[in-house]
Chains A and B, each alone.
Chain A
Amino acid sequence: MLLHAASEKNFATQEEEPEWVKGWMDKRGTPPKPKTEEKVRTEEEQEQLDKNREKTQTNRLLGVQEGAAELTMWLKDLVRMGLLELPSKNQQEFDRMAARMVDAKAPGLAGWVRALGRLNYDQGQAWQDEALGIISKLFLLLSALKNFDRLSPLWQQTIRNLAGWSQSTKELLADKEAETIKDHWLVVGQEVETTSEDITIQRNWLMGCTHNRQSMILNFGTRFTNIESNILPGTIIEGEMAFFPSVWPQRGALKIQRAVTNSLPAEPMAFETWKDVHEYKAEQLQVNPWLNDIVVVLKDALLIKSSTSWIVCDSSKHFQQLPSDFDIEKTLRWVAISGNRRLNMVLILRNNVVMPMGVFNNNHYHLL
């Protein structure tokens, strides 16, 4: 506090807390106020409010762009010195740069830096390709931020999300213009991850049985607030999904939920082979080069234990690798369900690996 008083400007302050913090603060704050009628603003007041909001957004963008410029310099230094320096770099160096990005209100950029620091540098040369992959995507994002003003509004929105602007589910659900799709949404899988900042991220992947659209519902929790989610993996939710605007709308929120069942109205469309999946992925990367966690269904898939790891083989014997840290229990569950029969399998394509989520058998979806 003394340091803060002495040099306040050295401390980064966040104008707007993340949505989950707001929610938590609201819950534990003052007792609920009696509902009063919403204040009706005059045209002048509304104009002022819009101006303030725009100014805040502009200031934030400037801050992020400054951070992006700093990170570009850091990246260039890294390239100048060579990636062989990476394994010997102190973890604190990555953390420090990530913190600078958080200060610049670009937590999305901080995530890429941390990912670079978290690579497994002890595992042969695999880290070199992974590092190059991260650097490529990060550099592309930094370039996009540099040219932000020249982008279309939808692209600007997409880049903002990638840089770490928080998206409000509340606002999405209130937005009448937001894209919505009615379908039977199959919850194909769930992943829960706890970050180094003790934030729990729950990712739910859903597939529309009729329209074959995919969606990801994100939920957040902290040490103090549990994740409030009524999404049960393996179930089918009949409802209306709203999508956050993006060049490749992926993240969504359930706007209307009519019923939850276990019976499948129709199986989502399946790709015949890995080649078809690959072509689909390449097409989608043209739309959004940062695209990750794509949900696909592969027809007649077989899990095979190869000498070093597990692979997913299609009917033409082409295969994709499972992550080295993939939960073996899921592969065993596949054996229990399928008895080594080829079944249509739901997979998440993440970076250069695939993660099996479940299989269709006798018109039922079985979670792995």
Chain B
Amino acid sequence: MELLRETALVGTEKKPLDATALPEAVKHLLSATDPETQFLQATTLLNFYKQAGTYPTAYKGVVDEAVIEEDKPVAPSELLDLYAKFGMVDYQIRDTMIGLWLNALIDQSAIVGPDILVGLIRDGQNASALTKAKILRVIGNKGAWILRNDSALSYPVLPSGAGSWEDGTTHERKILFANLHTQHPIEAIELLKRTWATESVVTKKVFLDLLKDDFVASDVSFAEACYNEEFKHQPKEKKTERECRRLLAEMLLSLTDTALYKNVTAALYAYHIKGKKGIMGFVTGKEAVSFQIPASEDSFWNAAHFEQAFGLESKSFDIALFNSPQLYWLSCLLEWIPMSYWAKHFDNDYERSIDYWLTNKDYQTIINGEVVPIFRKSLVENALKHRDPESAWILVNKINSAEVTSLLPVIRPEHFEAFIKRNKYWNDIEFLSNGPFSQERSWSRAFSEQVIEQAYDEAMRNKSSSHLGKVIAQFAHTESIDTLYSFNEKARESSSYNVWNTGIFQVAHVAMDIRNKINAIKK
């Protein structure tokens, strides 16, 4: 065969075929006399000769015969069949809808069947990080195998979970830690402790930052150990070490059972001054309260203490807002310590407390000719950080800025609906889509029907947008689908039907139908 190949490559003109070297079975069948035909005859015969005579070879490597068993059941077919419908859902809300479907699977502790497993993993590649994390919980052990063996799939997670924590990149470990901490905080801390001693201070800061966003009581002992020992103030410490202390102080001050919280709030007590009843006091029957920072440094309000206890500097703050480091430090404490503490000094009246911090002349400044409460941002952050619906609702009604939108997810549903109604934000997508609602928590039925009606009116004025349809698709109460259908029937008679149909109806009804089905399966 090698002889034949050599002739084939260089050509019969340069190297004629040596027929004598061919196998007997082939040689005696050659009838041609010219070298080219003889070569073609020989190559044809040898090709079939080789094909018939070459047996399959044996695999030399180790055959992995380990069967991949699943430890969770496959979800019922009525739930799995819904997956095929996501192709019809508007692509901008598909991720949300798939998330809803994944939640149903997770609630049932079930996994997807083999028929959709690969498709789901593939489709999920472009999904959000949250959806990807959910997908990882429903693909079972076979799905995990696929992820480990197909490098083209970009799921930024550790291939085999906590088992290879040590081998993952910081980014992968961040995702794994955050996911695990949401569900099993104790396990997550144990995982973190496994490599804590060998981590760089920069990586430690990354994980403390993550922990801060989801800090719970079971994390306190770990955080206190770090705060009291590892990140205790040192005369020559690195900037990152100080920042770690700040993060730890922030965490420990957010929970009322920690030693730091108790010490700091006890110390702050002395600065709340209750004065005589003023004119307003006589009217309301409430004692006037103020918070007074001492004019000169004392054992609490001094640069060394704030740096050592909270990792806060006496420089690098916004001088347009704060005219002294003390005010900057206070803004941090106002942000970190729950509003329940600050309100305690105002007879547990949140509104009085917030009013005090927003309206006290000592805590206001003028920027571009406008009076700005210097603690506004801290109060908003406090409400968001502690997910405090009462503070958030008070602030929504008192401030008039872009920060209102960020507070809406924290307020109570009934307050959100009242806010939309009062301000007639029926078609304002930014507000409507930012309520305290989730994939599983929809608007009330009455409110949903009102939104649908308003959307219909807008469409009839040819003003509708598909964004509104998408918001309805995600948040409208599923029982309001009948209202959607009845307005659709009504719209058929109108010349604006196309606006309604493409902008609202088509987008909303497919998604609402799927949500209805998921709800029915859950029940």
Contact = CB atoms under 8 A, between A and B. Distances in A.
Nearest to A351: B51
A76 B33 CA distance: 13
A337 interface: yes
Interface stretch (B61-69, B255-263, B332-340): B61-69
Contact of A79 (B40, B52, B59, B69): B40
Most buried by A among B8, B61, B117: B8
Nearest to A313: B59
B5 interface: yes
Contacts of A275: 55-56
A278 interface: yes
A274 B59 CA distance: 12
B232 interface: no
3 closest Cβ pairs, A-B complex: A82-B11, A136-B47, A76-B36
A133 B56 contact: no
B447 to A, nearest CB: 43
B198 to A, nearest CB: 33
A289 to B, nearest CB: 6
Contacts of A128: 5, 8-9
Nearest to B13: A80
B56 A332 contact: no
Given A82-B8, A135-B40, A278-B56, A333 B48 contact: no
Contacts of B444: none
A333 B150 contact: no
B43 interface: yes
18 contacts: A76-B36, A76-B37, A79-B39, A81-B13, A83-B11, A132-B8, A132-B47, A139-B40, A139-B44, A277-B56, A317-B58, A318-B58, A318-B59, A333-B118, A335-B68, A335-B149, A339-B69, A341-B67
**Prevailing SS type, chain A contact patch:** helix
Range, interface on chain A: 35 or more
Interface in B113-163: 114-115, 117-118, 121-122, 141-143, 145-146, 149-150, 152
Contact of B5 (A132, A313, A319): A132
Contacts of A133: 47
Contact of B57 (A75, A83, A318, A335): A318
Contacts of B142: 335-336, 339
Nearest to B43: A136
Interface of B: 4-5, 8-14, 34-37, 39-41, 43-44, 46-48, 51-52, 55-59, 61, 63-70, 114-115, 117-118, 121-122, 141-143, 145-146, 149-150, 152
A32 B121 CA distance: 50
Contacts of A307: 61
Nearest to B153: A332
Contacts of A84: 9-11
Contacts of A336: 114-115, 117-118, 142-143, 146
Contacts of A286: 52
B40 A317 contact: no
Nearest to B68: A339
A123 interface: no
Contact of B122 (A76, A329, A342): A329
A311 B64 CA distance: 13
A37 to B, nearest CB: 50
B5 to A, nearest CB: 7
B84 to A, nearest CB: 15
Contacts of A329: 118, 122
A285 interface: yes
Contacts of B41: 139
Contacts of A82: 8-14
**Prevailing SS type, chain B contact patch:** helix
A79 to B, nearest CB: 5
A340 interface: yes
A366 B118 CA distance: 14
A282 B51 contact: yes
Nearest to B141: A339
Contacts of A282: 51-52
Contacts of B58: 316-319
Nearest to A316: B58
Interface in A325-357: 328-329, 332-333, 335-337, 339-342
A304 interface: yes
Contact of B12 (A79, A85, A333): A79
Given A132-B5, A136-B44, A304-B61, 4 more contacts: A76-B34, A82-B10, A336-B114, A339-B141
B61 A306 contact: yes
Most buried by A among B44, B64, B121, B152: B44
A305 interface: yes
Contacts of B8: 79, 82-83, 128, 131-132
A320 interface: yes
A53 to B, nearest CB: 34
A286 B63 CA distance: 34
Contacts of A342: 65
Contact of A132 (B14, B43, B70, B117): B43
A61 to B, nearest CB: 22
A312 to B, nearest CB: 10
B335 to A, nearest CB: 48
B40 A304 contact: no
Contacts of B70: 339
Contacts of B115: 336, 366
A140 interface: yes
Contacts of A79: 8, 11-12, 36, 39-40
Contacts of A76: 34, 36-37, 40
Nearest to B8: A83
A366 B114 CA distance: 10
A163 interface: no
A82 B13 CA distance: 8
Given A76-B36, A318-B58, A328-B150, A285 B14 contact: no
A302 interface: yes
A320 B56 CA distance: 7
Contact of A340 (B39, B46, B67, B121): B67
A127 B47 CA distance: 15
Contacts of A304: 59, 61, 63-64
B480 to A, nearest CB: 38
B55 A80 contact: no
A282 B69 CA distance: 39
A85 B51 CA distance: 25
Interface string A77-120: 00111111100000000000000000000000000000000000
B63 A75 contact: no
Nearest to A79: B36
B118 A332 contact: yes
A75 B59 contact: no
Contacts of A289: 48
Contacts of B122: 329
A75 B142 CA distance: 51
Interface string A120-146: 000000001001110111011000000
Contacts of A85: 11
A278 B55 contact: yes
A101 B462 CA distance: 62
A108 B48 CA distance: 21
A54 B35 CA distance: 38
A311 to B, nearest CB: 7
A365 B289 CA distance: 78
A332 B57 contact: no
B47 A317 contact: no
Interface in A244-302: 274-275, 277-278, 282, 285-286, 289, 302
Given A132-B47, A285-B48, A318 B56 contact: yes
A81 B7 CA distance: 10
Nearest to B113: A336
B63 A302 contact: yes
A306 B64 CA distance: 11
